[in-house]
Amino acid sequence: MMERSDRAPLLDWEEVPPAEKLDEAAPAARGDEAAEQRSDSGSIVEDRMVKWEEKDQIVSVFVVTFNTRTGNMLEWCLPKDMDLDGVEFKAIASGSHRVTADFIYFRKGSYFGLACFANMPVESTAERGARMKSVGILSPSYTLLYRYMSFLEHQVRLQLQSPGHYSPLEAFYEDKRALLPPSGEEVVTACPANAWGASINHSMHPEMKITHPAGCMSQFIRFFGEQIMVLWKLALLRRRILIFSPPPVGVVCYRVYCCCCLANISIPGIGVAVPEFRPFFYVNVADISALENELSYVACTTEKIFEEKKDLYDVYVDNQNVKTCRDGLKPLLRLSAADREKYRKLTEQSRQMLLFSQENGDCVSSEEDLFILFFLEQNNRIFQTLGEVAGSPDPTLTQESVRAMGLDPHGDRLFLLHLLEVYGYDTLLVSEQLCCS
């Protein structure tokens, strides 16, 4: 018996016009006077974001099908010479036969992909009563793949109803295909860090547009509850985090993305010497060799066998259960008094903002902004304090300086020691008072 996907609340999307069209239309919509009032710095940030978005283009489009004799197989693709080996197991996740529809974010080499899957009952003995296909795309960046969600959903339904009709996909590829530089040096995989702080004050962080307007960050935080503070610390420490869940996969891909948001820092120069914290999104057994070489990542899987591959991850998340086999990390899974207080403040601020913003009819985006900014500001507060202490005549972390970071001098001592090691603050001294619990 098939189950319905629980993704419906996240997916009633409209395709968003390209950034350049929005930019052209905006002054007319706001009026010339309002357009002239934009600050020079705001204009620079917007121009930078538009240039960044223009580079996020489609490098491949494909159709994957499930064959009852041979399993998942690549049915069709453009361009024909694109290396899509293994994409058939990413676009149709293990266990997908149990849901009627799903969407999957994934990585394929240096590219990111989005595929929409659908499962349709058919009166066919050869197909064993069900036809399953997935239509997907690849891009140098994951942040704007959401634009094509509704198109892919529509196309996979057409492929199920009329297999073999690829002309809409051919036209889509010709219209959207990327013009990548031969060297590949300008391929962008994330929003420029120096545009982060200013852009979120102007509007929603561009990467957050991956989500439905109903927001996935708020659902993510409510799902994990207080445990979100544990995930926040592990993300800031750039640990390898693997999330297990049975299908549907789409909602879990959002959890991967939100984990990355917990570690955002907008202070220039911070984190440049630590491993990049990147989302792998959905992974399967074919990704094992790739994960073996990763120092820091967040990924999700539907394959329970990964739990046994303890050398591949530092933290394993099953439902709301966060666990680790690393002895040095086990104390970090316990909530400190400061963790509980931060979570209380976060939920209280959210409640107050919802009450206020409901009157203005914009509760969703306001709440999403709140959650992202809460962790961004917390992270900035930590590294701002560390920088000030490191530059002082007495570079010693005291109970007062740790409290200034929003941390618990005793309960967060181990987390702080890990943080100093990971980010290279080896010149800082730790007060003896912090060594007593």
User: Which residues, at least 6 apart from 115, have a Cβ–Cβ distance to it below 8 Å?
Assistant: 64, 90, 91, 92, 103, 104, 106, 134, 135, 136, 137, 152
Q: Which domain holds residue 302?
A: 203-379
For residue 385, tell me if it sits in a domain: no
Asked if residue 387 is part of any domain, the answer here is: no
pLDDT at 45: 37
Task: Judge whether 228 lies within some domain.
Answer: yes
Residue 373, domain CATH: 3.40.50.11500
84 located within any domain: yes
Same domain (yes/no): 226, 165:
no
Please state, rounded to an integer, the average pLDDT across all residues of the chain.
Answer: 80
Say whether both 289 and 148 belong to one domain.
Answer: no
Q: What's the pLDDT tens digit per position in 282-309?
A: 999 999 999 999 999 999 999 999 999 9
pLDDT tier at 72 (50, 70, 90 boundaries)?
A: very high
Supply the pLDDT for residue 146.
84
As a whole-number percent, the residues of the chain with pLDDT over 90 amount to 57
Total structural domains within the chain: 2
Place of tokens 């933290």: 315
Mean pLDDT, residues 344-370 taken together: 74
- Is-above-0.85 flag for pTM? no
